[in-house]
Structure 1
Amino acid sequence: MIEFRNINKIYDNEVTALSNITLSIDKGEFIFLVGSSGAGKSTLIKILLKETEPTSGKIILDNKDITKVRSRRIPFIRRNIGVIFQDFRLLPKKTVYENVAFAMEIIGASGREMRKKIPMILSMVGLSQKSEKYPRQLSGGEQQRVSIARALINNPSVIIADEPTGNLDPETAWDIMKLLKQINNRGTTILMATHASDIVNTMKRRVIELKGGQVIRDEQRGVYGDEG
């Protein structure tokens, strides 16, 4: 599904962000990526999203080597990856429906496809009654549900959730986690970077911990760690 093979990343200022990262992620896994700020989590995600290139090593996605591809191929790679951000990143002047539609427009979907799929996905995330609302009219939890709908709309094989509960109160955070669990149960692979020790410790999924750009722990049914 996803393989990082001996990934190294050294920035121009000679700071080593990642050192010899070798990981394999199977289809349908739910993985927590943990570690303190600066541990390398964001760099690993950026490499997978082709926002930055590794200094050395290989990345395999769905049995294809995506390490070195032409820039025009990158949008096609990203179609298979949905991304959920901590700060939602919604378009403020577009409605809920239009925010989700925008993700379909990017890949050239027809209006007919949008009219069919968007109501279904909004229903799935519990926003059927909010399709004409603007982001400013929504709660934080509702905005994150829009973000999830947008990440799901093109049926990606992988969802990367980068601190998706970081700006939410505990009750709303758990509502979002229940939704992510439902999505995972349908077969979508989820890689979630988080500092939420309570969520990690309760869900007991695979935990990969980074420190100083290296994997220091990779365990099934793991917990956040001593620092959590």
Structure 2
Amino acid sequence: MIKFINVTKVYEDNGAKALSNINMFIEKGEFVFLVGPSGAGKSTIIKLLLKEIDPTSGTIILNDMDITKVKNRKVPYIRRNIGVVFQDFRLLPNKTVYENIAFAMEIIGSHPKEIRRRVPMVLSMVDLSGKAYCYPDQLSGGEHQRVAIARAIVNNPPVLIADEPTGNLDPDTAWEIMKIIKDINRRGTTVLMATHAKDIVNSMKRRVIAIEGGRVVRDEEKGVYEYEV
């Protein structure tokens, strides 16, 4: 569950108001597209959820916890509840596919036995069982993103944030990635996906929250993408 209550963000270095009195509520298990033109505030919303930045005012609830004023030492525990998939994959080039995914479990102290059980499971979910011992430079763009998704979900987070996950992919591969993300959502994971992918948004007919100028201007069930791409 994600809840923004009267959230405003002003960047202190330049005085820019990125968000202005944002209110939104995303239920557990929902699939929501976050859309809007470049500079609208989508990235700021994601950074706030990841505790990379703090709001200037307002309250942010994540999985029934007020994360607005959490101390820095507790931020890693908050991030354990969020899987993140980026446009640029962010894989570790000197680790195999298996090692990239296992690393996400190692950094939170998972037992080696649990890692050996869980990593093959998520590799199977993203149809990469045969690539476990390949390195990133041996993979296609679509395979890179599948590894990134597997890494994001290996700790079974209740929330998955996808930031332009299909932005660097051809249309056919993009739809393969969307099928995986839909399957993850179907298993109960809440998905918030920031995107400019008009065809995907319009075809999937899921909830759409549109941001413009740091404000929510539209929040529709089975919404559409109304911006130039």
- Shorter-chain TM-score above 0.5: yes
Give the letter aligned to residue 8 of structure 2.
Answer: N
Partner in structure 2 of residue 22 of structure 1: 23
Q: Once the 2 structures are TM-superposed, how far is the Cα of residue 227 of structure 1 from its aligned partner?
A: 3.4
SS at match of 1:146: helix
SS at match of 2:70: coil
Partner in structure 2 of residue 3 of structure 1: 3
Partner in structure 2 of residue 139 of structure 1: 140
- Matched residue count: 228
Q: Unpaired runs of 5+ in structure 1?
A: none
Alignment of 1:190-201 (within 5 A): 190-201=191-202
Partner in structure 1 of residue 38 of structure 2: 37
Partner in structure 2 of residue 73 of structure 1: 74
Q: Any idea what the Cα deviations from partners look like across 1:102-143, whole Å, max 9, x if unmatched?
A: 100110011111101100110110000000000000000000
Q: Once the 2 structures are TM-superposed, how far is the Cα of residue 226 of structure 1 from its aligned partner?
A: 4.9
Looking at structure 1, the residues matched to 63 and 84 of structure 2 have their Cα atoms a distance apart, in angstroms, of 17
**Residues 168 and 226 of structure 1, relative CA distance in 2, 3 Å threshold:** closer
Does the CA contact (< 8 Å) of 2:3 and 2:26 recur in 1? yes
Looking at structure 2, the residues matched to 18 and 211 of structure 1 have their Cα atoms a distance apart, in angstroms, of 9
Q: Once the 2 structures are TM-superposed, how far is the Cα of residue 64 of structure 1 from its aligned partner?
A: 1.3
Looking at structure 1, the residues matched to 175 and 8 of structure 2 have their Cα atoms a distance apart, in angstroms, of 34
Q: Once the 2 structures are TM-superposed, how far is the Cα of residue 10 of structure 1 from its aligned partner?
A: 0.4
SS at match of 1:37: coil
Partner in structure 2 of residue 186 of structure 1: 187
Partner in structure 2 of residue 121 of structure 1: 122
Looking at structure 2, the residues matched to 163 and 129 of structure 1 have their Cα atoms a distance apart, in angstroms, of 26
Alignment of 1:57-96 (within 5 A): 57-96=58-97
Partner in structure 1 of residue 100 of structure 2: 99
Percent of aligned pairs sharing the same letter:
69
Q: Once the 2 structures are TM-superposed, how far is the Cα of residue 63 of structure 1 from its aligned partner?
A: 1.2
SS at match of 2:228: coil
Partner in structure 2 of residue 204 of structure 1: 205
Q: Unpaired runs of 5+ in structure 2?
A: none
Looking at structure 1, the residues matched to 59 and 53 of structure 2 have their Cα atoms a distance apart, in angstroms, of 13
Task: Give TM-score, length-normalised by structure 2.
Answer: 0.98
SS at match of 1:36: coil
SS at match of 1:57: strand
Say whether residues 1:155 and 2:151 are aligned partners: no
Give the letter aligned to residue 157 of structure 2.
Answer: P
Please list every run of at least 4 consecutive aligned residues from structure 1 whose deviation after the TM superposition is greater than 2 angstroms. none
SS at match of 2:226: coil
Looking at structure 2, the residues matched to 93 and 215 of structure 1 have their Cα atoms a distance apart, in angstroms, of 41
Partner in structure 1 of residue 111 of structure 2: 110
Q: Once the 2 structures are TM-superposed, how far is the Cα of residue 42 of structure 1 from its aligned partner?
A: 0.1
SS at match of 1:182: helix
**Residues 94 and 226 of structure 1, relative CA distance in 2, 3 Å threshold:** closer
